[in-house]
A = this chain, B = another copy of it.
Amino acid sequence: MHPSAALKPALDALAQAMDNRFDRLLQLPEDPRRRLYQAMRHATMGGGKRMRPLLTVAACDLFHVDKDRSLRVALAVECIHCYSLVHDDLPCMDNDDMRRGKPTVHKAFDEGMAVLAGDGLLTLAFEILADEATHEDARVRAELVLELARAAGPAGMVGGQAMDIAAETSVFDLPTTTRLQQLKTGALISFCVEAGAIMGKAGPDQRTRLRGYAHDLGLAFQITDDLLDVEGDSARTGKAVAKDAAAGKATFVSLLGLERARQQADFLINQAIAHLSGFGQEADLLRAVARFAVERDR
């Protein structure tokens, strides 16, 4: 990962803040649940780009949301992201042994504990959002829960995972592949930005612009993932390379070709940044995240 100079300090600080918060959230209990908590710590701490937390905090910063609160929302988002990786890595799903350069949860523990660790993290996300510490206005808390559940559930991320399984046995065209990725990764990325608008009680016009930004960013992020899947090497990405292509799944690269996929990602990122034109320098972090999404090398 070589983030732009502007982004590096923000990412480093956030990585530390997330690890600290997961450490406090997942204190090891002195009872037989200990292994479950160890598995949840393994799934969440000491790795990951923390792209979604950064996006959440950047969106909250637009509206001058208190930092402790925006980090709570970021933590909830990362709980969802990490749970999805744990379940996705299971032998009955993608069957991955390595993640972020270390053994996946079912390898380091066992499959049953990986299922439970994922379930636990998924549930904790909603506990964090519904807690008064996240916002004193219960309408804000309820809206965060509602939107995260929609983004993560069968009409969002879980639905995208189900489409991904279907993609193994059928050939998806570009619109269907786009829809798959919007559900699988786009919905949660959109929630990160939406969460800032909810926390900051943004007006309808601001929300529309932020939705446009998040939509384009999510798609560009996924196209970049597909590009890295082909171009990257396992040592740098810390996971197996070109798995989707090997599995015969349609990707943006297989559908568009390398060159057009790269052009499309760049086009989308410029469009994403254009959506932010109504905001001043308080949106600089969101602009930097957008550039990072296509310039990263893992």
Q: Which residues in A have some Cβ–Cβ distance to B below 8 Å?
A: 31-33, 35-37, 40, 83, 87, 90, 92-93, 110-116, 118-120, 122-124, 126-127, 129-131, 137-139, 141-143, 145-146, 148-150, 152-154, 158-159, 161-163, 165-167, 170, 172, 176, 179-180
Contacts and interface: CB of A to CB of B under 8 A. Distances in A.
A123 B120 contact: no
Contacts of A127: 145-146, 149-150, 153
B130 A146 contact: yes
Residue among A111, A127, A138 with the highest chain B CB neighbour number at 10 A: A127
B123 A163 contact: no
A36 B159 contact: yes
A255 to B, nearest CB: 16
A141 B145 CA distance: 10
A86 B170 CA distance: 26
Given A111-B92, A115-B93, A116-B161, A32 B170 contact: yes
Contacts of A120: 153-154, 158-159
Given A142-B141, A159-B36, A122 B122 contact: yes
B149 A126 contact: yes
Contacts of A154: 33, 36-37, 40, 120, 123-124
Contacts of A31: 163, 176, 179
A179 B33 CA distance: 11
Contacts of A37: 154
Nearest to A183: B33
A204 B203 CA distance: 38
B131 A112 contact: no
